[in-house]
């Protein structure tokens, strides 16, 4: 029986306008009515993710920052896995040396040293995930979205690093003009053995503590609920979803997912612009109905 569904956001739960569609929202509510919990598993921070679900009056638990911070349905922080200070400094120096733009995601919010680059990168993400969206529209959408307002803009990151009460949970670096420039630093950082470096689109890399992975966080969350990953459906589209897609029994790739994620999946659903999450939820409920029917038949026989 599927007892919990975990869904990524960008390219998965969110459509081309960075919204949860009415169809997806209705399916999430229907899952709850059928005793299937829905949890968000995203590379975003809580302040970026929560408003987009709240727009549909949805208040699930959240695995955020690729598993670095996990919140229960009441909004209580139940997991926190920051980057080690030495690894943060090492990563920042590596990115600075290569002239790459990056943001610091901390337990006190998200920090950027360029509002223009922030808006540009959200727009680029929109176009990347939704090729039918033109860039001018993407910039307008990016400028208007709530997540832009939830960013702290600073001249430089020195004050953040000097504050002992602030812990860096994730670093995300971007290069839309030439994504290939991200490959070399990614490989160097992975070789430390202390970092998990993934991507939520081809134009970024996301740097976490090696223990902060969606799959690990999801397994711990469901264990606290009293069941295992054999009762979990996980839905995603990109490399930062790989650990939970690999570990969940019912793994679902979006129709717009990268080929590597599709290859791992138990089922490939529709695209994010065609309510693929809703379709996956319907399939989960159908699987449960089939299993219940089978169990009843076996009991009678």
**pLDDT confidence of residue 299:** 57
pLDDT band at 168 (very low <50, low <70, confident <90, very high): very high
| 27 close to 141: Cβ distance less than 8 angstroms | no
User: Tens of pLDDT along 249-278?
Assistant: 999 999 999 999 999 999 999 999 999 999
Average pLDDT over residues 10-29: 95
Distance separating alpha carbons of residues 236 and 94, to the nearest angstrom: 29
Q: Which residues pair with 65 in a beta bridge?
A: none
Cβ atoms of 110 and 103 within 8 Å: the answer is yes
Per the CB < 8 A criterion, the answer to whether 222 and 232 are in contact is yes
Beta bridge partner(s), residue 252: 235, 267
Structural domain boundaries of the chain?
4-80+212-300, 85-209
72 a catalytic residue: no
Q: Which helix (H) or strand (E) holds 173?
A: strand 168-174
Q: How many CB atoms lie within 10 A of CB 73?
A: 12
Q: What is the pTM of this model?
A: 0.86
**Who has greater pLDDT, 294 or 108?**
108
Lowest mean pLDDT among 24-38, 55-69, 133-147: 133-147
**DSSP three-state, residue 98:** coil
pLDDT at 87 over 70: yes
- The fold adopted by the segment(s) 4-80+212-300 is Rossmann fold (3.40.50)
Q: Is the dihedral of CA 129, 16, 121, 39 positive or negative?
A: negative
CB 126 within 8 A of CB 138: yes
Q: Which pLDDT band, with edges at 50, 70 and 90, does 118 fall under? A: confident
Q: With a cut of 80, say whether residue 27 has pLDDT above it.
A: yes
Averaged pLDDT for residues 28-54: 95
Q: Torsion over CA of 234, 237, 243 and 244, rounded to 10 degrees?
A: -10
Architecture of the domain defined by 85-209: 2-Layer Sandwich (3.30)
How do strand 250-253 and strand 232-236 relate by DSSP bridges?
Answer: parallel
The DSSP code sequence of 98-136 is TT-EEEEEETTEEEES-HHHHHHHHHHHHHHH-TTS-HH
The active-site residue out of 8, 10, 237, 241 is 8
Nearest to 244, CA basis, from 226, 266, 275: 266
Predicted confidence band at 134 (pLDDT cuts at 50, 70, 90)? Answer: confident
Indicate whether 85 pLDDT > 60: yes
């Amino acid at each position: 029986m599927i007892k919990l569904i975990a869904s990524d956001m960008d390219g998965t739960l969110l459509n081309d306008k960075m919204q949860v569609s009415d169809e997806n929202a209705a399916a999430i509510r229907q899952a709850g009515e059928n005793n299937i919990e829905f949890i968000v598993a995203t590379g975003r921070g809580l302040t970026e993710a929560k408003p987009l679900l709240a727009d549909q009056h949805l208040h699930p638990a959240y695995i955020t920052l690729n598993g670095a911070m996990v919140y229960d349905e009441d909004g209580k922080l139940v997991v926190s896995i920051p980057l080690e200070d030495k690894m943060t400094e090492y990563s920042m120096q590596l990115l600075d040396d290569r002239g790459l733009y990056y943001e610091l995601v901390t337990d006190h919010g998200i920090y950027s040293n360029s509002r223009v680059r922030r808006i540009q990168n959200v727009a680029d993400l929109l176009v990347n995930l939704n090729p039918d969206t033109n860039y001018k529209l993407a910039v307008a959408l990016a400028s208007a979205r709530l997540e832009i307002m939830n960013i702290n803009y600073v001249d430089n990151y020195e004050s953040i690093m000097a504050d002992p009460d602030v812990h860096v949970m994730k670093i995300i670096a971007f290069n839309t003009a030439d994504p290939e420039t991200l490959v070399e630093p990614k490989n160097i950082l992975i070789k430390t053995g202390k970092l998990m470096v993934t991507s939520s689109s081809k134009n970024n890399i996301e740097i976490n503590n090696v223990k902060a992975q969606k799959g690990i966080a999801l397994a711990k969350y469901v264990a606290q609920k009293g069941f295992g990953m054999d009762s979990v459906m996980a839905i995603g589209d990109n490399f930062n979803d790989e650990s939970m897609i690999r570990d969940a029994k019912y793994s679902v790739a979006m129709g717009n997912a990268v080929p590597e994620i599709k290859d791992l999946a138990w089922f490939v659903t529709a695209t994010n612009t065609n309510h693929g999450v809703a379709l996956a939820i319907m399939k989960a409920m159908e699987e449960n109905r089939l299993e219940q029917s089978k169990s009843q038949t076996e009991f009678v026989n």
